[in-house]
Amino acid sequence: MNPLFHEIFQTTRDITNKLNSCLKEHDLYSSQWTILYTINKNGPMSLTDIWKYLKVEAPTVTRTVARLEQLDWIVRTEGEDRREKIVSFSEEGKKKFPDVLASVLQFEEGLIETFNDEEQQQLLDLICKLKGRANHWKS
């Protein structure tokens, strides 16, 4: 295995584990956070739009959304098609989201505080370049 990819995978796991620790005080996990963040960023979305956007399997999103609904973070309503479910924040979720966002932003700042602006941009450019190449790869 190319050492670069080993480091990428290990770093991703480490960041996810540390983010989970950060989110623990809000009784959330990173997978739940990504859905909440996506809804906050894009507004109400169908389950299909969420899993396509996040590039995860539909059953995973459905299970995570169901759990977020049980925790009163989100609500599901019927879309134009009765089979379509639209996911949006519950009133309680709208109230709690800013506190979670503040925790995540503080976590992120701690991760990148040793990078200056130029280094942050370089890293972002390299990640986007790698992501673009991965999107063109035929599996």
Model confidence over 83-120: pLDDT tens digits?
888 999 999 999 999 999 999 999 999 999 999 999 99
Distance CA 60, CA 81 (A): 22
Residue type, 37: Y
Distance CA 23, CA 41 (A): 19
Q: Which residue blocks in the chain are alpha helix, DSSP H?
A: 3-23, 30-42, 47-54, 58-70, 91-112, 117-136
The two three-digit tokens of residue 37, written as one number: 């963040």
Residue 73 is classified by DSSP as S
DSSP class per residue in 85-122: EEEEE-HHHHHHHHHHHHHHHHHHHHHHTTS-HHHHHH
Residue 24 to residues 17, 18, 19, 49, 71, Cα–Cα distance (Å): 11, 10, 9, 27, 14
The two three-digit tokens of residue 46, written as one number: 């169908």
pLDDT digits (tens, 9 = 90+) for 8-23: 999 999 999 999 999 9
Please determine, for residue 132, whether its predicted confidence score (pLDDT) is greater than 90: no
pLDDT digits (tens, 9 = 90+) for 24-66: 999 999 999 999 999 999 999 999 999 999 999 999 999 999 9
* pTM, 2 dp: 0.88
